[in-house]
Structure 1
Amino acid sequence: MTSHSESGEKTEGRDVASAFADEVKQETNMESVGIFEQWAKINSTYHWGGPKWTRSKSCTNVSAQSPSLPILTGSSTEKVAAVEKILKETYPNVPTRILKLDLVSFDAVRSAAAEVNAYAEKSIDILIKNAGLMNIPERTLSVDGFVVHLATNYPGSFLFTNLLMD
């Protein structure tokens, strides 16, 4: 299930996680802590972001439903580790894993996807894609020649998802 007809623009993340509780429980979850959430039925959960970011709330909301393995991702392992610490304090029985994922670099995206594809857990049940950049003061190019804003928000995320689906 990828949508919930009762949800709308004012629906809280905890309500969405509760609505999908049966899908979340005992699933491997890869969550990305970011600006928006897209729920896709694939087979795991993943998140990225820092503990002060509103986006990290989706990690907490999903973890409240007892997934088997939230995989927390981000370009800054320090920020992701801070989110993991909060989750471990709040939900000590929910194991977590950190994955370094820098969406700005296609090589880094390919490396992260290869790492996930090599995990013993062979599926991702829930993929929450909600990382993104905005308001970058100066035009900055990625190593692949894209504007960083574009590389992170679109092709990097698209590439990561497609490499997981192979």
Structure 2
Amino acid sequence: MASFGTLSTFLSFFLVLVCIAPTSLGRSRTEGELWYLCSKTEHPWQCLKLLKSADIRYSSRNLNDITKVLIDITYNKGKEIHDTLNSLANEARDSRIRRRFISCSKNYNDALRDLGVAKRNLLNGNYKVIPVEVNDALQEVKGCYDYFTKASRDRYRLKEKSEDFKLLCSILKVAAKYYPTYEFKN
């Protein structure tokens, strides 16, 4: 028969195992990789929430795949805002508001161009230029973001969408920074 000390040790070990196993099993490799990336941003929890909602999946052991996916997601978010702005410009009755929407649409178009250049640089292995292109994209839309923030009504959620765009850009800059050097551990 086992002694009380041995049984106690076994139960302690079992309890530790039960407490630790669900957290390590529940967190997938992809989630761990996303958390590593998000932990390098200014808003890690918002980053993780956004990336999980975007359902990023990849199987590489480096940041190449996630950086490619991030560029595409960031581009698509910018395109969504751009298309909304074009639609709003067409619907606007007030010429001052129409001009503002057209101006912001042009800014987002330029930001999309910058993201296209960033993607070409990634595909060509010139990852050091990606943060510069992403900064350029952010500068293009800065005035629009300020405008959306001050708007009294926002039924198209332009402020929220532009905040997501800014966050995606910041994540993309981090991914590009770590892309060439970091290999995820198993």
Common topology (TM > 0.5): no
Richer in strand (by share): 1
Structure 1 or 2, whichever has the larger Rg, is: 2
Q: Normalising by structure 1, what TM-score?
A: 0.25
Q: Normalising by structure 2, what TM-score?
A: 0.23
